[in-house]
Amino acid sequence: MLKHETLTVRELVPGDIASLRRLLETSEYTYARFAEDELARMLATRPGVGTFSTPPGPLGRIGRGSLLGFLLASSVVPPSAWVGGFGVTWSQGAHFAEHLDLLLPAVERPLAALGTRMLYYSGSDTEADWLKPALEARGFQMVTLLRAYDKEGTEIPMEGNQRVRVRPFTAADVRGVLDVEHACFDQLWHYDAEGFLEVAATYPYFVVAEDERGIAGYQFNAVDFRGGYLVRIAVHPRAEGQGIGARLMAEAIRYFKREQAGRILLNTEERNHRAHRLYERFGFHLAPQRGFVLGRPIAPPVAAP
């Protein structure tokens, strides 16, 4: 059992980064939707809380305590926020649900103050996700199922629309990209202006497609040692069905080829048939595993009496 009398819950601060890294490196009871080098930026910009064991008495009041568990929000675009990471130390593995009970309300308070009303969690395997049952027992409900697609090699079966200009995103494109975003995606998936600027600063590839009316679409990707990740592709409904999606795909695959990523992966919603057709036309194969998104409402902040 956890010794509650010595367990404290507090906001994570930059001084906790080394302990967080250690926890992520040494425990298998972790969930992280971020790369290690993003941790400092996440802590500085998003709500994050930890459970700490502190010795009883005066000693406990002096030190920071030792980190036993953490919960970090990732994308926060009110009214939606996402769980970016959760974990407990190896020795607390059997008690992870107790940490969840302490950390969820603690992270939801600052999120509510920011105007967030739903907290989402995304897992990559409906059948085998270790956190899913515990989250469902705490009121998280299925929001949508996800499909994973992958493609071996970098063959480009079609070039798509050659009249649009595809060029790197610049900060001046934020307005146009936000218009595409709002027209294309449900609120839970939205990036805001800050989010797009962060994508531009941290992702290696982010382009827009421009026609005579302005920005018609956008697309961004990531790469690591496992392969390439086609993170987002979007074309404004006003310009759909003109081969712009195909053009952005062709350019993306060319980029992955330059980066020598032999395998390309992506995720999409189970119900997004238009996107499935685009991916399948480009030689992507459906992976058997189904991802998912769970969500739970966050209560508005209680007004001071």
Ligand X SMILES: CC(C)(COP(=O)(O)OP(=O)(O)OC[C@H]1O[C@@H](n2cnc3c(N)ncnc32)[C@H](O)[C@@H]1OP(=O)(O)O)[C@@H](O)C(=O)NCCC(=O)NCCS
By CB under 6 A, name the binding residues for ligand X. 160, 184, 232-235, 240-246, 268, 272, 274-275, 277-278
**Of 86 and 218, CB closest to ligand X:** 218
DSSP state letter for 138? T
**Shortest Å, Cβ 205 to ligand X:** 15
**Of 99 and 151, CB closest to ligand X:** 151
**Shortest Å, Cβ 275 to ligand X:** 4
**Of 258 and 277, CB closest to ligand X:** 277
**Shortest Å, Cβ 45 to ligand X:** 24
DSSP state letter for 301? P
**Shortest Å, Cβ 236 to ligand X:** 7
Residue (of 116, 102, 36) closest to 73 by Cα position? 116
How far is 296 from 305, CA to CA, in rounded Å? 27
**Of 15 and 241, CB closest to ligand X:** 241
Q: What is the CA radius of gyration of the chain?
A: 21
DSSP state letter for 129? -
Q: Classify residue 190 as exposed, middle or buried by CB count within 10 Å of its CB (0-12, 13-18, 19+).
A: middle
Residue (of 220, 222, 213) closest to 234 by Cα position? 220
Q: Which two three-digit tokens encode residue 221?
A: 């990707």
Tell me the residue number closest to ligand X, measured at CB. 245
**Shortest Å, Cβ 62 to ligand X:** 49
With b meaning 16 or more CB within 10 Å and e meaning fewer, what string describes 53-64?
bbeeeeeeeeee
**Of 98 and 192, CB closest to ligand X:** 192
**Shortest Å, Cβ 24 to ligand X:** 27
**Of 96 and 220, CB closest to ligand X:** 220
Classify strands 263-269 and 285-297 as parallel, antiparallel or unpaired: unpaired
